Chains A and B, each alone.
Chain A
Amino acid sequence: MLDIKNLHVKLEEEDKQILKGVNLSVESGKVHAIMGPNGSGKSTLSYVLSGRDGYEVTEGEAHLNDTDLLDSEPEERAAAGLFLAFQYPVEIPGVGNMTFLRTALNAQRKARGEEEISAGDFLKLVRGKAKSLKIDADMLKRPVNVGFSGGEKKRNEILQMAILEPKMCILDETDSGLDVDAMRLVAEGVNALRDEGRSFLVITHYQRLLDHIKPDVVHIMADGRIIETGGPELALEVEKNGYADLLAKHGISEVMA
């Protein structure tokens, strides 16, 4: 599904290398988790994969199935099935959540040569998905993320994911800011989407989320690289001991991480 090879990324504006050779493969139907110290490059990886400006790829490649991600516009990546649930969802005053969702869904359908969804079907679709995420009608009517609480924003990301039905879902700290109940709702939302043909890359700092969304593979990222890959037990080990030993093992000082 997702293949990242030797990805090197620096900031466009300054001479700062952030990703220093990321290698990562996520197979179809699998859930991979990425953990790692603050500033290790997790969000950067997710932004670069989804095509945000401001980064320069100096080496390496990234494919989503047959799509060369690094050679595509953000909207093309989305149409190819990539989805990023943002660590910090963006507020768009003046654009209603429903308009936003319908515009996005129809744009993706159009890009794939499918017909636009009818207003009635769309309404039904959104209502159904919103209900299971406990997103009320009022939140759907309001401008995108404006005045939403931190947790509401995160749930809104998952709602978008549920409606757009992407193939490759990247969740960047979707658990941060969620209360216990919201976390369960979000995890249920994610689990409901788990499917043979869909993969997840879950970026998180806490085992808590992984209790609900059981990962197949766990990666540890530090200093712009994946330094360790293992099973779910790796997350438990980090939860218990922190990153110090792992970093030391790979010769990374904690300041750099």
Chain B
Amino acid sequence: MSAVEKMTPAETRLARVSLPDGFGPQRRAALERLNAMGLPGRRDEYWRWTNPTDFIAPDPVPAAPFSDDEPEIFGEIDRLKIVFRDGVFDAEASDELAMSGVEILRLADAPDVNWASSLYGTLEANGQDPVKRPFAALNTASATDGVLIRVTGAAEKPVSLIYTHESETSDPILHHLVKLEEGAEITVLENGPAGARFNKLMEVDVAKGAKFHHIRVQGRDHERRAVTSIFTRVAEEGLFKSFTLTSNGVLTRNECVIDIVGDDANAHVAGAALGDGKTGKFHHDDTVFITHGAERGESRQVFKKVLKNGAEGIFQGKILVKPGAQKTDGYQISQSLLLDENSQFLAKPELEIYADDVQCSHGSTTGAIDETALFYLRSRGVPEEEATALLVLSFVADAIEEIEEERFRDAILTRLEGWLARHRG
């Protein structure tokens, strides 16, 4: 037997990593990190509840693109469109990469610009301590495309990243940078399944007084798999706000690593996940790590999961308050609504606090539909299925409230209603 045949899937995967052009030193450093930490196994503390096998496998499990005639979620929004088809930038389908107050470059062009070179891989590397995030290091080393966005003022309109999926075996790795200069503001939208297996990373650097808004809708392809990471650093009076809606997909792991480094900064991360095991396996994992390293920081984590027919939901959320981060206000809630007895939700909320004058709270609940509320609605003439749908919407409402702009909330609600209509009974 040859040596190659004896390799484990993880070894094969690591051996196959190649470094595309551009950001050479950063990519090589990431590969070193990756080789040192290795790919995760079930024994890793934060992979106990989510099986990483499909993310590790040298080749993705093929996934048929899913199509229906539901219109694209942000179709009505005035935006700057950037389309990736199976992970490759599609210039034809995209708008011109120009907008006032914003500089947009393409990772695949390997641009040699200072701000990008000093950001690429930096937040990811910082976020590797104390918890290892191998798929993020893998991403930094081998990402083939992505956008590098630098915001100097108030962006004229949202940047909308659209990930289409056509090939059954596509395995894109995208890496985006968003650098907000002092006082700048932008909204980044993301939607689409992207590929059979998707590894996506976004590094967001929020300077003093800058505001970053992120609204993401993860593709409805029943068979897709995705591991995504967001690394952000929030400076004084900065704001980071991220919301994700996930409906279906076999396997999703969303990590969000937030580092509050300046005083009076705000970071909110929220998510609503809807899973129906009937249309295929559904496993959704939100893993969040928020570090308060400055005074008077406020952070919120609001995660809601609606699970049925054997769907599985995971939440792992940590708030770390460093010494001296006084007057920190940290809030975390993770809740699941189980629509039947076969579905499962596991939560691991963690607080680690080294400052004495802080206010931190966390809560986690698992429950079924409130029978009393259901009866109340039905007694007013609302049929059972419609009443259930209304209660599901009411359950996820807190997470959706985290989206500031009404037009995005409305778009998300429309998508939610569509899901509920397709997954009745």
Interface residues of A (CB under 8 A from B): 50-53, 73-75, 77-79, 83-84, 86, 89-95, 99-100, 103-105, 107-108, 111, 143, 160, 164
Contacts and interface: CB of A to CB of B under 8 A. Distances in A.
Given A51-B379, A75-B384, 20 more contacts: A51-B375, A52-B379, A73-B384, A77-B379, A83-B379, A84-B379, A90-B372, A91-B373, A92-B373, A93-B397, A94-B394, A95-B394, A95-B397, A99-B390, A100-B377, A105-B381, A107-B380, A108-B381, A111-B383, A160-B380
Contacts of B391: 92, 95
A51 B371 CA distance: 12
B166 interface: no
Q: Which 3 A-B pairs have the closest CB atoms?
A: A94-B394, A94-B397, A78-B381
Interface of B: 371-373, 375-384, 386-387, 390-391, 393-398
7 contacts: A53-B371, A75-B383, A75-B384, A99-B390, A100-B390, A104-B381, A108-B380
A90 B390 CA distance: 14
With most chain B CB atoms within 10 A of its CB, the pick from A89, A94, A100, A111 is: A94
Nearest to B380: A104
A74 B375 contact: yes
Nearest to A166: B381
A143 B401 CA distance: 13
Contacts of A74: 375, 378-379
A94 B398 contact: yes
Contacts of A92: 373, 376-377, 390-391, 394
A74 B387 CA distance: 12
Given A92-B394, A107-B386, A53 B381 contact: no
Contacts of B371: 53
B379 to A, nearest CB: 5
B378 A73 contact: yes
Nearest to A74: B378
A53 B380 contact: no
A86 B281 CA distance: 41
Nearest to A161: B380
A90 B393 contact: no
Nearest to A112: B381
Given A92-B373, A92-B391, A94-B394, A50 B386 contact: no
B398 A104 contact: no
Contacts of A79: 381
With most chain B CB atoms within 10 A of its CB, the pick from A79, A105, A107, A160 is: A107
Nearest to A82: B379
A244 to B, nearest CB: 35
A100 B381 CA distance: 11
Contacts of A75: 378-379, 381-384, 387
Given A52-B375, A74-B375, A103-B386, A94 B395 contact: yes
Given A52-B375, A86-B376, A104 B382 contact: yes
B375 A53 contact: yes
B381 A111 contact: yes
Nearest to B397: A94
Contact of A107 (B376, B383, B393, B398): B383
Contacts of A143: 394
Nearest to A104: B380
Contacts of B378: 51, 73-75, 78
Contacts of B396: 94
With most chain B CB atoms within 10 A of its CB, the pick from A51, A83, A99, A103 is: A103
Nearest to A99: B390
B372 to A, nearest CB: 5
Contact of A103 (B373, B376, B390): B390
A79 B379 CA distance: 9
Contacts of A90: 372-373, 375-376
A39 to B, nearest CB: 20
A241 to B, nearest CB: 35
Contacts of A164: 380-381
B382 A103 contact: yes
A174 to B, nearest CB: 15
A140 to B, nearest CB: 16
A51 B387 CA distance: 15
Contacts of A99: 390
With most chain A CB atoms within 10 A of its CB, the pick from B371, B377, B398 is: B377
A74 B396 CA distance: 25
B84 to A, nearest CB: 34
With most chain A CB atoms within 10 A of its CB, the pick from B371, B375, B386, B393 is: B375
A143 B397 CA distance: 11
Contacts of B375: 51-53, 74, 90
With most chain A CB atoms within 10 A of its CB, the pick from B380, B394, B396 is: B380
Nearest to B382: A107
Contacts of B372: 90
